[in-house]
Structures are given as structure tokens and as C-alpha cells.
Amino acid sequence: MMSKRFQGKVVIVTASTQGIGYSIAQRLGLEGASVVISSRKQENVDEATEKLKGQGIQVLGLVCHVSNAQQRKDLIYNSLEKFGKIDVIVSNAAVNPMAGKNTVTIMETQESILDKMWEVNVKAPVLLTKEAAPHLKKGSSIIFISSISAYNQPLPWAMYAVTKTALLGLTKKKVILSSSLLKRFGTTEDIAAAVAFLASDDASYITGETLVVAGGTPSRL
């Protein structure tokens, strides 16, 4: 039986209608949290909201592009309007325009792509945290998924250090698996479990750390 570490807590998870974000919202919701999920597309929000409600999770679904200043403010305002407080923010939204392209070095990356990655992956999470800060009490949790460093995730695109596998050939997949001590690809649930730990009181004496969820794959950050 799943524990209820987040009973009475309110959690915001950005980019949370699919993939890692959805699994995080689902895990925290099943542990008792009221969750606020978001996506750039209304249809995705509606679909994910209904799925979570069907599992008995109290959920508020909102449209939010994290690089849009007004939508970030609305995310915070509507969360407070609905639930009255914010206990945890999981900054999961990110982009990787280079996924699936042959160009892999930073020196070959176009300036427009670097600008987009900066806006969404770095600037937006900081500004969201800044806007939420006045409403957070001491001890609230703020988690950046980039800091968890999720490797070997079977997702359609790569996020930060997440290794894209959906479009990789069999040979490349074997190479990746050969570097993993557990000899399997990670799942979104693996990342959700790590987030649930870091956001809970069980991790109350952990701060400013990078948690590598990689199945034993060697990593250097």
C-alpha cells in the first residue's frame, strides 16, 4: 500500500500531462497531495485531469507555457485560489530542440536554439520560483528535474541529461544498456519515486544536491 506522505499538501508540477511530469503528479497525488498540472495545450490538460480524477486524485488542470510571464502568474494565482497554499513546486518543463538531430556539440548549436533552451530550461523555472516564493512557507520543496539527472528514459525526446531511446537503433540501445548496472531502461515511475522522496519530509536534511537516477550508468555532471 502506498504511503500518504503528502496528505494535505498542495503540489504544482509543470509540463505534467504526459511522460515524467504526469508520473510525478500521479505519484504525489496517490500519496495524498492535491496536484496542479499544466501543459501548453488545453486538450492535453483536460485528458490528464480526467485520468488523475479517475484515480481519486484531487487535481486542478491549467494551461501554462512556462516561458509566458502571464501564464506563470496565472498558474500561481489559480493554484492559490483553488487550494489556498503551495507546498511543493516541481519544475519539470524543459525543451531540447537538438533531440534527433545530428549536431551534438555546443559549438555547433544555433544561437536561436540556445536562446530557447535558456528561456524554458533556465530562466522560466527561476522566475516561476520567484513568483511563488512569497506564498511558500519555510520548509517548502522546490525541485528542478534537471537536478535529478534522469538517464536512460524511454521518452520521445531528451530532457537535459535524459538519454533519448525511442528513436535509437538496436545497436545503440545495446550500448546504452551495457553501461547500466541494472541492464534496463529507466521508467517515468523511477523518476517520480525519486521526486516523491526529495519532496517529502524523508529528505528534510537534503538540499542543494544532484540525485542521479540512472540504473548505475556512469555520469559526470
Q: What are the average pLDDT values for consecutive 10-residue runs of the chain, which has 221 residues?
A: 91 96 97 98 98 98 96 97 95 80 71 91 92 85 63 42 39 70 84 92 86 75 48
Partnered with residue 59 across adjacent β-strands are: 35
Does the pTM surpass 0.95? The reply is no
Backbone φ/ψ region at 77: left (φ over 0), alpha (ψ -120 to 50), beta: alpha
Instruction: Give the burial string for 102-129 (b: 16+ CB within 10 Å, else e).
Output: eeeeeeeeeeeeeeebeebbeebbebbe
Q: Which three cell numbers mark 151?
A: 538517464
pLDDT of residue 156: 39
Domains of the chain: 10-203 (3.40.50.720)
* Catalytic residue set: 160
pLDDT of residue 96: 78
Q: Is 161 helix (H, G, I), strand (E, B) or coil?
A: coil
pLDDT of residue 71: 97
pLDDT of residue 86: 95
- Please state, in angstroms and rounded to a whole number, the distance separating the CA atoms of residues 16 and 208: 23
pLDDT of residue 145: 66
Residues 6 or more apart whose Cβ sits within 8 Å of residue 190:
150, 213
